[in-house]
Structure 1
Amino acid sequence: MVCTKCEKKLGKVIVPDKWKEGASNTFEGGGRKINENKLLSKKNRWSPYGNTKCVICKQQMHQDGKYCHTCAYSKGVCAMCGKQVLDTKLYKQSNV
């Protein structure tokens, strides 16, 4: 649950680049190097669980932000910036 302002930040896709359109995983256009050592070229490797943790429950998150999805929905705030998005005053929510 993110606000409209933070929706633009979610535009990153985890699928590989399109083939031969300036992709980093092709030989043409200076993409992939031939006979490169993969252990030495791991500098910008994507990790599914980053260093960000939820402010409330301290759970590791898969995207940058302040709150995990569960805490953001229960509080009614944007998961990335913390702005109030939803009024949860009349909701019946449990902590189970």
Structure 2
Amino acid sequence: MVSDNCQKKLAKVIVPDKWKEGASNTTESGGRKLNENKLLSKKHRWTPYGTTKCTICKQQLHQEGKYCLSCAYKKGVCSMCGKQVLDTTHYKQSNV
């Protein structure tokens, strides 16, 4: 769960653009090399073991934030900033 203000901060997925006009990853525009792996290139390297951890359960997060997705949903807060997003007072949730 992410608040409206944090939508802009979300990480982008490394996939090719669908359209060739203005795409940065096509060979026609000089945006990328042939047979280049985007995950292994130097400037966009992805680290599977991030440095940030959830403040509640200490699980490693896949992108910047305070809470993992399961803890953020249980509390009803934004996973990035901790702002209250959802009222969970009448929800029946387990602690497991």
Structure-2-length-normalised TM-score: 0.71
Separation (CA, whole Å) in 2 of partners of 1:54 and 1:68: 5
**Residue 95 of structure 2: aligned partner:** 95
5+ residue gaps, structure 1: 34-40
CA RMSD, aligned part only? 3.0
**Residue 62 of structure 1: aligned partner:** 62
**Residue 50 of structure 2: aligned partner:** 50
Q: Please say which structure displays the higher CA radius of gyration.
A: 1
Deviation at 1:95, TM superposition (A): 1.6
5+ residue gaps, structure 2: 34-40
**Residue 38 of structure 2: aligned partner:** none
Range with greater deviation from structure 2 (86-95 or 24-33)? 24-33
Deviation at 1:9, TM superposition (A): 1.3
Q: State whether residues 54 and 67 of structure 2, in contact with CA within 8 Å, keep that contact through their aligned partners in structure 1.
A: yes
* Secondary structure of the structure 2 residue equivalent to 1:12: coil
Q: State whether residues 11 and 63 of structure 2, in contact with CA within 8 Å, keep that contact through their aligned partners in structure 1.
A: no
Percent identity, aligned pairs only? 79
Amino acid at match of 1:62: H
Deviation at 1:94, TM superposition (A): 0.1
Deviation at 1:47, TM superposition (A): 1.3
Number of equivalences: 94
Q: Kindly provide the CA deviation profile for residues 15-58 of structure 1, in whole angstroms up to 9, marking residues without a partner as x.
A: 2467987878777777668xxxxxxx747521133111000000
1:83 aligns with 2:83: yes
Structure-1-length-normalised TM-score: 0.71
